Amino acid sequence: MTTPNDLDSLRRDGLREVATIGAGHAATALSQLTDRRIMISVPNVRRVVYGELPALLNSFGDHVAIVSMRMLGDLTGRALLAFSEDDAGRLCDMILRRPLGPPRVLGELEQSGLKEVGNIVCSAYLTALSNFMQMMLLPSVPSLTMGRTTQAIASTVDPNETDHDLVFCVDTAFRAEGREDPLTGAFLLMPDSVSVRAILEAIRLD
């Protein structure tokens, strides 16, 4: 007999499998973009309620960078890729093939690079989920928000979007070949309530 805890574990395993496939596709695309090997790992996948989002992102520090995209198609909602501002700067150094330096102001070039990374990573995760569920998922054009964590969340997520009752968080670690320390961020999938039910129903024990 399958217990609720067993089912929850199976769902996490299913979500992690989908996330790992997406991370592999994103790593390949970033490696081709930068002409250097970029590896992306998925240390953890978890589900949190929307109210826990500020505490989750506060773990990155007082200032964050958030790339946001709307999810359209058979499932709807929002997808975010979040980093601390410091790690966002180092990620820019990585993709622009510069030596990893101290924190710097993120100018137009860096911001454009971050949006491109967000577009690649979010699209790869959504494509993996789309293929798994055999549904059409389309990402919108990415936008970038930087600043204090609470303000960045408020600016990114429309307060009228109150049906994001469940958030899927994919911890995401980036590592460039020859670098030991990974840069850590989080991919956040925020489906609306109808889409949440569809995802949980698809990732279950038959």
Query: What pLDDT does residue 4 have?
Result: 40
Q: How many helices (H) and strands (E) does the chain have?
A: 6, 7
Q: Where are the domains of the chain?
A: 4-202
Distance of CA 50 to the CA centre of its chain: 15
Q: What pLDDT shows up at residue 125?
A: 93
Beta strands in the chain (DSSP E): 38-49, 63-73, 77-84, 137-139, 143-148, 166-176, 183-191
pTM, full prediction:
0.84
Closest among 198, 158, 202, 172 to 76, alpha carbons compared: 198
pLDDT at 115 over 90: yes
81 residue type, one letter: L
By mean pLDDT, which of 52-61, 68-77, 143-152, 197-206 is the weakest? 197-206
Q: Tokens 């994001």 belong to which residue?
A: 164
- What topology is assigned to 4-202 in CATH? Chemotaxis protein chec (3.40.1550)
Note the pLDDT tens digit of each residue in 13-71: 777 888 999 999 999 999 998 888 899 999 888 888 888 888 888 888 889 999 999 99
105 phi-psi bin (left φ>0, alpha ψ -120 to 50, beta other): beta
CA dist list (Å): 181 to 39, 47, 166, 184: 12, 26, 31, 9
